[in-house]
Amino acid sequence: MRTSVEAARARMLALEQELDIETTREKLAAFLNIIGLYMTEYSAALDLEHKGSQLRLDIRNLTVVADTMDGPVPLYRMGSGENWVGYHVLSHLALHKWFRQKARPVPGFVIFDQPSQAHYPPERDADGSLEGLADADRIAVLQLFKLVADAAEELAPVMQIIVMDHADLKHEWFETAIVERWRWGNKLVPEEWVQ
């Protein structure tokens, strides 16, 4: 009986520690620091405003923050659509990397819809080629897709990254990742499904 009581008390103490608000805050801070590290590492592949700054998720305000030498800069003060898209993409990649490493019950896929749009608006689209873009935009689109491709390779086979975009890069790593091209009549929802 004494052994059972001691085991129950030990279990109760363990549960109280799990519920301890300070312990929970410390764990959350540690996990957010790790995710911020992943975000910072991923950001090295893109030429974004505040590149080289430590990045983090601000869960109180649900935003990305760059910690700079002049203080924190939240996403809404980071300039252009290119920055917003880039920081959103790398935030999702960092979160999913952490989810996969911790085997969290979060679906193992993410879908990005037209991440190149800040550089490559659909009205300039003829055949998906980047030839009509300025050099800076062409490089930025290439960097963004390369980051996604590298993250997909790093997190495979437990993570799938689906990108729906009109850009069509002429690189072997890009070509091998394509499953369907909408230009060739294939659609995400087949016509026969529409009633």
What pLDDT, in 10s, does the model give residues 86-109? 999 999 999 999 999 999 999 999
Tens digits of per-residue pLDDT, 38-91? 999 999 999 999 988 999 999 999 999 999 999 999 999 998 888 999 999 999
What is the domain extent for residue 40?
Answer: 2-193
Number of structural domains found in the chain: 1
Q: How many CB atoms lie within 10 A of CB 82?
A: 22
80 three-class SS: coil
> Does residue 125 have a pLDDT over 60?
no
Measured on CA atoms in the order 42, 44, 49, 55, is the torsion positive or negative?
Answer: positive
CA atoms within 13 A on the CB side of 6: 3
Task: Indicate whether 120 pLDDT > 80.
Answer: no
Q: What is the CATH number of the domain that holds 157?
A: 3.40.50
Q: What is the DSSP string of 35-57?
A: HHHHHHHHHTTS--TTTTSEEEE
Please say if the pLDDT value at position 26 is more than 60.
yes
What end-to-end distance do the CA atoms of the chain give, in Å? 68
Q: What is the mean pLDDT of the chain?
A: 87
